[in-house]
Amino acid sequence: MVTGGTGYIGSHTVVELQQSGYEVVIVDNLSNSRADVVDHIEQITGIRPAFEKVDCLDSEGLDAVFRKYPNVKGVIHFAASKAVGESVQKPLMYYRNNLGSLINLLELMPKHGVEGIIFSSSCTVYGQPDVLPVTEAAPIKKAESPYGNTKQVNEEIIQDFVASGAPINAILLRYFNPIGAHPTALIGELPNGVPQNLVPYVTQTAAGIRQQLSVFGNDYDTPDGSCIRDYIYVVDLAKAHVIAMERIFQHKQEKQVEVFNVGTGHGVSVLELVNAFERATGVKLNYRIVGRRAGDIEKIWANPERANKVLGWHADTPLEDILASAWKWQCTLS
């Protein structure tokens, strides 16, 4: 079961699951995605995933899906609201959606013999790390937003549920900054309204949909003054989920709950990304430097050694190839 499976990361993960031989049922309420993503997944893999339009907050509806698909062995839980700024304006919606959905799933899994869950966490739990690159042992810092807090609390909910003796296993994947689109350009990121994230804003500016990219600050303590992040190709990220799910099914876990940073291990600044986009696409980007964005941390990139060694997984797609995939996807939308 892939909740949020018609969403950006979920849809790419469904493709990789199917291409690894798994049967998939998508549960999504289409609050931030479209049903035709199911068609595009089928176009890529030749296999139409089962799709149930259900809200994970609807416990009875979710129970009915588990009853309809009694062979579900694992859950990959992407379904959540994820806009940091919106979470500041609507905290209760974020706490209800992101915590309530997970609690419903955890309550139903043992009842239906589901072995394990892969949870979509985020490097946002680290805040601004004291030491870089950041490892899974780094301290969790007070969240900068209700959204970030929902990720921290969700991790604690899973840890506490397993500690209470629940018969399930879990892997928490802390994503860094997922970017790019599937090489077929049949699926990709579909931001609603004005993009908050950098790469969709870059591609929409290049496509002429946005007038100009604002670079939020060049007075940070970084080589070129702009913020540094660990941008990971969404397909590489999707592959990590298949490996993590297999790890649970094959009972290879060292602990009932394992945590992995899912990043490239390389920090890239905003201006470096803009230059890489121009090199990758040949499109000159119209941008200007403006003031810092409230809530932004200065720099973060992963130490992915645990995922590399324990999962045998690496994110090695070159940044320019990833940005070329984002541009190819944008060109199909315009």
284-303 residues near ligand NAD, rule: CB under 6 A: none
18-37 residues near ligand NAD, rule: CB under 6 A: 27-33
Instruction: Quote the CA–CA distance of 202 and 209 in Å, as a whole number.
Output: 10
Q: Does 122 bind ligand WQD (CB under 6 A)?
A: yes
Rounded (5°) CA angle 291-123-54: 105
State the binding partner of 308 from ligand NAD, ligand WQD, none, CB within 5 to 8 A by kind: none
Closer to ligand WQD by CB, 152 or 281: give it.
Answer: 152
Instruction: Quote the CA–CA distance of 173 and 99 in Å, as a whole number.
Output: 17
Question: Measuring CA to CA, how many Å separate 125 from each of 33, 158, 204, 297, 301?
Answer: 25, 15, 29, 12, 13
Q: Which helix (H) or strand (E) holds 287?
A: strand 287-290
Q: Does 80 bind ligand NAD (CB under 6 A)?
A: yes
Closer to ligand NAD by CB, 10 or 267: give it.
Answer: 10
Q: Please report how close the Cβ of residue 151 comes to ligand WQD at its closest, in angstroms.
A: 7
12-71 residues near ligand WQD, rule: CB under 6 A: none
Q: Give the count of residues interacting with ligand WQD (CB under 6 A).
A: 18
Q: Which stretch binds ligand WQD (CB under 6 A): 50-58, 181-189, 193-201, 303-311?
A: 193-201
125 contacts 144 by C-beta, under 8 angstroms: no
198 contacts 230 by C-beta, under 8 angstroms: no
Q: Which of 8, 201, 233, 277 binds ligand WQD (CB under 6 A)?
A: 201
Task: Label each residue of 70-112 as H, E or C.
Answer: CCCCEEEECCCCCCHHHHHHCHHHHHHHHHHHHHHHHHHHHHC
Which member of 22, 147, 175, 201 is catalytic? 147
Q: Does 178 bind ligand NAD (CB under 6 A)?
A: yes
DSSP state of 291: P
Residues constituting the chain: 334
Q: Please report how close the Cβ of residue 111 comes to ligand WQD at its closest, in angstroms.
A: 29
Residues with active-site annotation: 147
Where does this chain bind ligand NAD (CB under 6 A)?
Answer: 3-4, 6-10, 27-33, 55-57, 78-82, 97, 101, 120, 122, 175, 177-178
